[in-house]
A and B are shown apart, each in its own frame.
Chain A
Amino acid sequence: MARTLCLLILGASQALFCSDVFWFSYKIVTANGLVVHEQKNIAPVMVPYEGKSQKLCTLELSNTQNLPKEQFLRKHFDEILPCFYQLSSHILSWNEQHLKQGSDRIELVIEPVRFTVDFKDEFATINAIR
């Protein structure tokens, strides 16, 4: 009984302190100018972290349907993606010319970063936590 209570308190505190902070990461692979692979990741932070907040952007987005934040962010991933380009974008490129044939492959990775989203009026502000 006591153990269950402890676990409940722990779970509640985790939800209370960590629910508003999320991880973001992104990977895209293009081959000869065409997108061949895309990986979009948004996940809630499971371990409390206190870092400096850095404003990335303000978007004209409002959560009118009162969706849970994680679900809302997943739904609007394409809108929030440009905010994260300015952070660390890791580029790996491979271009091969063999006689008359050429192949080009680029991988762009936005490394995992913690972020928060604040809704005010009809705008959503994205802040990176580092």
Chain B
Amino acid sequence: MNRWFMTLLASLGLVLVISGCSAKKEEPAKNPKDAMYDFSNEKSFVVYGEGIAPKNTVSPAQAIALAKRAAITDGYRQLGEKLYGVKINSSETVQDAALKDSRIVAQVNALVKDAAITDAAFKDGLYSVRMEITMSARRWQELFAY
């Protein structure tokens, strides 16, 4: 009786092992190069540019127009930061174990095409624009692969 029981258990275990092995799917090995050239992916970059309305204008309309342009310029700068990166130069001077001087310079040099202004609002002297640019892998290759 005991031997029959042990055989049954062993058979069940064997069936489980075999079924487990057969159920396991073999995933194709991912090639990093294939992922790099997958042109179907698209990614949107969204930024919010802000501009201030100047006080010494001939009319409130002119102040708003100038604030809008400053906001668009700020938005383009932020898109440039995202697409091209920021060059940072920093220097700190420590004297007698105390911070004497600190200077950080951040620079952006970018060329942005096809950015869209998707929303704009003016409130309390601050103009805010929502800007968006869609970047696909193909476009990325065209612009940056050289």
Range for the number of chain B residues in contact with chain A: 20 to 34
Residue-wise, chain A 28-39 has the 8 Å CB interface mask toward B (1 for contact) of 101011110010
Among the stretches B2-10, B23-31, B113-121, the one at the interface with A is B113-121
A88 within 8 A of B: yes
- Cβ of B146 to closest chain A Cβ, rounded Å: 16
Known A33-B52, A78-B65, A91-B110; contact A106-B77, beta-carbon cutoff 8 A? yes
Chain A residues with CB under 8 Å of B106's CB are: 93-96
Report which of B50, B54, B80, B113 forms a contact with A93, defined as CB distance below 8 A: B80
A81 — nearest CB in chain B belongs to which residue?
Answer: B69
Residue-wise, chain A 14-33 has the 8 Å CB interface mask toward B (1 for contact) of 00000000000000101011
B73 within 8 A of A: yes
- Cβ of B83 to closest chain A Cβ, rounded Å: 10
Do B72 and A34 have beta carbons less than 8 Å apart? Answer: no
Report which of A34, A86, A91, A98 forms a contact with B114, defined as CB distance below 8 A: A86
Do A91 and B54 have beta carbons less than 8 Å apart? Answer: no
Chain B residues with CB under 8 Å of A35's CB are: 51, 54, 66, 69-70
Chain B residues with CB under 8 Å of A66's CB are: none
A92 within 8 A of B: yes
* 19 additional A-B residue pairs with CB within 8 Å, beyond A34-B51, A91-B76, A96-B106: A28-B73, A30-B73, A34-B54, A35-B66, A85-B72, A86-B114, A89-B112, A89-B115, A91-B73, A91-B77, A91-B80, A91-B109, A93-B80, A95-B107, A96-B103, A98-B102, A98-B103, A99-B102, A108-B73
